[in-house]
Structure 1
């Protein structure tokens, strides 16, 4: 399991996909790619023979087939399905961003190019680079994941519900007037970490860290610091407001 912090600073723990399941998904995708390559090669062969094409067109056909099979297939499938090639779908895997959100074309393209060039084929020694980098990574990332800022996770297991911050009743009115858009994701993450680890801190550490975070948060949202409440009450109210706006 690995902990992710979403854009609204919600903590999630997701099961990381390791080499056995990823290898199974890769082999299934490889079979599909081989079938795609055979289909394209046969179609191109018939077309070029019928047109009596010269050697330049044969080279073009080879390049198009390779690019389509090695790059276009993984990029297209992961973009359309938001992180699931056919092999990953069969093995219950999905590619997600570092904040556990769905990937887009940019992430899929980075992973696809890195897979073709570094992880598997041109420089990857038939997947040796991908295996080594995955073994060296705490989250099982290959080079393409590192470059794209993605992680492959299992999706068949029941995922825990995210822990949402709750505003104290006496601060709901104050929090409702806030515009937390000025808070950065890093600051929101620090607040989330403080609140989730509050019980492990000494009273002195709770007050010291909480006071610093309240000052930073209030400066970001443009409101004076409410000194009559404990820091964790204020931080919980601000974070709850941010999460409320992020959900809709």
Structure 2
């Protein structure tokens, strides 16, 4: 087991790759490269048919160097140490400090691979890998690289230690939205393995990670708080928020489902009878009344006097 610290302060708890897995990855890569070389060689033979023999030999050598040396170097440089065979086997080439490789590392590995793998059919590489404590071949030794296993079983994940009690709840107002996932991973990996590091190196890594977190949040930590304790408290605060958000959403969904569900009546419980409502009496239509003739009162004649009317 080898704990490596990357250039980005990421602690890797991965084991160096051994000869069987590395040999399988190299065979996969060689099968792919040789297949491509064979197809291109056939095309070049057809294209250069009728030319001078020296020119054909020069084209063949150039295609060999390009496909079996140049392409692997370019692939490892662009993929940061993950070729097709290594990707299939869960391997990766890194620097000795755990950081990603660059062009010069891939160039030295590719140049030495011509001697170790192609010219000697892998015999020198196998012997060097068996002798090396971390399974490195000569190309890794000269380039300062190491092939590691990236796939880690799930039971190897370690919990983050809790923060000191006097820091609990002091970062509830801290804005953590701008902290990227890569930085969270780096902080978590450091906290889970900080006891296995050299004290001075661990303190330097903690200070660097704490500065990165402060730069993302925009809020400096309280005075006198150690960097490792600050990181523990910040990670604990993020975990608390994630748990509250997850359980809060679950509780709201449960309440909504309970409100929409019909009431449950236990088996054997007495059921109250519904009250009896008598039907209403039918309504009998009533015929309209006959029209009533208006009553005109009789007017009595005016009384006549005893005098006769004038002539």
Q: 1:97 offset after TM fit, Å?
A: 1.1
5+ residue gaps, structure 1, are 171-194, 199-208, 218-234
Q: CA RMSD in A?
A: 3.3
Query: What are the Cα deviations for residues 131-173 of structure 1, in whole angstroms up to 9, with x where unaligned?
Result: 1111111111001111111111111224867999999989xxx
Instruction: State which of 140, 145, 149 in structure 1 corresponds to 2:144.
Output: 149
CA contact (8 A) 1:37 1:65 kept: yes
How far did residue 48 of structure 1 move? 0.5
Shift in alpha-carbon separation, 1:85–1:29, aligned structure 2, 3 A? same
CA contact (8 A) 1:130 1:143 kept: yes
Deviation string 1:3-40 (CA, Å, 9 cap, x unpaired) is 21333666432121111111111111111121111112
Determine the structure 2 residue equivalent to 1:204: none
CA deviation vs aligned residue, 1:74-99 (integer Å, no higher than 9, x gap):
11211121111111111111111112
CA distance change for structure 1 residues 108 and 197 in 2, over 3 Å: closer, same or farther? closer
TM-score (structure 1 length as normaliser): 0.64
Q: How does 1:180-219 map to 2 (within 5 A)?
A: 196=195
How far apart are residue 45 of structure 1 and its match?
A: 0.4
Report the counterpart of residue 35 of structure 1 in structure 2.
35
Query: Superposed, which structure 2 residues align to 1:1-248 within 5 Å?
Result: 1-7=1-7, 11-49=11-49, 52-117=50-115, 119-122=116-119, 125-158=120-153, 196=195, 236=203, 239-245=205-211
Q: Over alpha carbons, which structure has the higher Rg?
A: 2
The structure richer in helix per residue is 1
For the 8 Å contact 1:12–1:161, the answer to whether it is kept is no
Q: TM-score, normalised by structure 2?
A: 0.52
Number of residue equivalences: 187
CA distance in 2, matches of 1:109, 1:37: 20
